[in-house]
Amino acid sequence: MKVRTYMSREGTLPPGFIKSVRRIIGDEHFSQQEGDLISYSLDYWLYGVFLSQKGDLPALPSAVISPASVAQIQEIVRCAGRYEVPITPFGGGSGVLGGAIPLEGSVVLNLQRMNKFLNLDALSLVAEFEAGTMGANLELELNNRGYSAGSIPQSLYCSTLGGWVSTRAAGQFSTKYGKIEDMVLGMEVVLPDGNLLNIKPVPRRSVGPSLKDLFLGGEGTLGIVTRATISIHPLPGLTIRQSFIFPSIEVAVNVVRQILRAEARPAVVRIFDEVESGRYFPGIGRKVVAIFISEGEAEYTAIDARVIRRISGENGGESSGEEPVDIWLQKRFDIGLGPVLMQYGGIVDTIEVSALFKDAARVYRDMVAAMKAVEGVLEVSGHYSHFYREGVCLYITFAGIPKDPLRYYQDTWDAAMKATLQNNGSISHHHGIGFWRIQYLEQELGASGVKLLKSIKNALDPEGILNRGKLIDGGRQ
- Residue 252's pLDDT is what? 98
What is the CATH architecture of 4-110?
A: 2-Layer Sandwich (3.30)
Q: What is the mean pLDDT of residues 456-475?
A: 89
Q: Confidence band (pLDDT; 50, 70, 90) for 2? A: low
**Sign of torsion over alpha carbons 98, 101, 105, 110:** positive
Q: What is the mean pLDDT of residues 208-225?
A: 97
At 108-134, the pLDDT tens digits run 999 999 999 999 999 999 999 999 999
Domain spans of the chain, in order of start: 4-110, 117-234, 238-329, 337-422
Q: Which residues pair with 197 in a beta bridge?
A: 189
Contacts 24+ apart (CB under 8 A), 407-415: 408/347, 408/374, 408/375, 408/376, 408/377, 409/47, 409/347, 409/349, 411/374, 411/375, 412/349, 412/371, 412/374, 412/377, 413/349, 413/351, 415/367, 415/370, 415/371, 415/373, 415/374
- Residue 3's pLDDT is what? 64
Would the pLDDT of 4 be above 90? no
Would the pLDDT of 471 be above 60? yes
Distances (CA, A) of 100 to 151, 276, 279, 384: 21, 30, 31, 27
- Residue 360's pLDDT is what? 98
Q: What is the mean pLDDT of residues 471-477?
A: 59
- Residue 334's pLDDT is what? 84
Q: Confidence band (pLDDT; 50, 70, 90) for 337? A: confident
Q: Which residues pair with 397 in a beta bridge?
A: 350, 381
Would the pLDDT of 218 be above 50? yes
Query: pTM of this prediction?
Result: 0.95
Q: Confidence band (pLDDT; 50, 70, 90) for 474? A: very low
CATH 3.30.70.3450 fits 238-329, yes or no: yes
- Residue 475's pLDDT is what? 40
Which residues have CB under 8 Å from 396's CB, separation 6+? Answer: 350, 351, 352, 353, 364, 367, 368, 371, 380, 381, 382, 416
Would the pLDDT of 54 be above 90? no
State the Cα torsion 453-454-459-464 to the nearest 10°: 120
Q: What is the mean pLDDT of residues 367-376?
A: 98
CATH topology of domain 337-422: GMP Synthetase; Chain A, domain 3 (3.30.300)
CATH topology of domain 117-234: 3.30.465
Residue 90 DSSP one-character state: E
Mean pLDDT of all residues belonging to the chain? 95
Which residues have CB under 8 Å from 168's CB, separation 6+? Answer: 179, 180, 181, 216, 217, 430, 432
